[in-house]
Amino acid sequence: MLAMTRSKIKKIGILTSGGDAPGMNAAIRAVVRTALFYRKQIAGIHRGYDGLIHDEIKPMTSRSVSNIIHRGGTILKTARCLEFKTPRGMQKAYRNLTKHGIDGLIVVGGDGTFKGAEEFSHRFGVPVMGVPGTIDNDLYGTDYTIGFDTATNTTIEAIDKIRDTAASHNRLFFIEVMGRDSGCIALWSGIAGGSEAILLPERKTNVNDLIARLKEGAKNKKSSSIVIIAEGEKSGGALKIAEKVKSKLKLYDTKVTILGHLQRGGSPSCFDRVLASRLGSQAVESLLQGESRKMVGLLDNKIKLTDLRMATSNQFELDNNLIRLAGILAQ
């Protein structure tokens, strides 16, 4: 199959895939308006790769993205698509791209989205650029992903409210936050929320050590305690950890709060709006400059490109300095 000519891109397609993240709409807006600035046509692909397979593709104008920068979620919708992982599904997607004259593709999403885009580009020669949109902040090649800042601020707001009632009733709260494989939200919100302990997927939990720490806090006249647990914590999450602790610690009335998907919603923060705008615009410019199979990221406040294969295959690691800081401050 002949590769599309990157230097002569006339029409760009954009889709959002995987879990939604606050700021995705700001990225869509930036992609659309930057493409139009360079006098390129732009098409929105609805419901991610599933919409690409089922020809849910519509042209977009500057007015298509009016009044969306402040909205959470994604106006293009998103969906999981197992069919896109098959050669037949990718062939159907490619036919629809060529049908609409799309010769460049920008995908906004996370690890799974980028793996699909890299394989699709390799198979059919379609130039693609990735924009990191996931609240988990777990992609190699960028300090921050779109949605992480908003999700963390939402989590902190909930923690602050829970602490009010915890202190009023001498309670121990276990708060479970999102993060199946990454403890970024737990780590950042735990530090900012003043938690007594933070349990992460990346670290093995020692329940006895946790109980000893909580007992020490009680001796030091702490009227309440907050423990932040990432949902992917290997001992079973907040409910199981709370049961183990409750059976051995009678000093507090123990409660569990699972924040769940409320962390994905809401109006994106200023940081996420600016980040999404920068990355979305750069994705278009990089595509038009002949780049492909790259993720646009932010490293040391500078935009950098990382190969999609590297962004998805290299292990993202938590900042050990932050983990150490969390331990120091939880005294």
Determine the Cα–Cα distance for residues 328 and 73; give it in Å rounded to an integer.
36
DSSP 266: S
Question: Which tokens go with 202?
Answer: 């990346």
Place of tokens 């606050």: 22
Question: Which tokens go with 180?
Answer: 């199946």
Place of tokens 């009227």: 223
Active site annotation includes 272: no
Burial of 265 (0-12, 13-18, 19+ CB in 10 A): middle
Determine the Cα–Cα distance for residues 111 and 229; give it in Å rounded to an integer.
22
Active-site residue, selected from the candidate residues 103, 136, 149, 272: 136
Do the Cβ atoms of 67 and 35 come closer than 8 Å? Answer: no
Q: Please give, one letter per residue, the 3-state secondary structure of 190-226.
A: HHHCCCCEEECCCCCCCHHHHHHHHHHHHHCCCCCEE
CA 70, chain centre distance (Å): 17
Edge to edge, what strands does the sheet with 128-132 contain?
57-59, 41-45, 11-16, 104-109, 128-132, 294-299, 302-307
Determine the Cα–Cα distance for residues 59 and 264; give it in Å rounded to an integer.
27
Contacts of 207-216 spanning 24+ positions with Cβ under 8 A: 207/235, 207/241, 207/244, 207/245, 210/241, 210/245, 211/245, 211/248, 211/249, 213/330, 214/172, 214/245, 214/249, 214/251, 214/252, 215/249, 215/251
The three-state secondary structure class of 45 is strand
Catalogue the active-site residues. 136
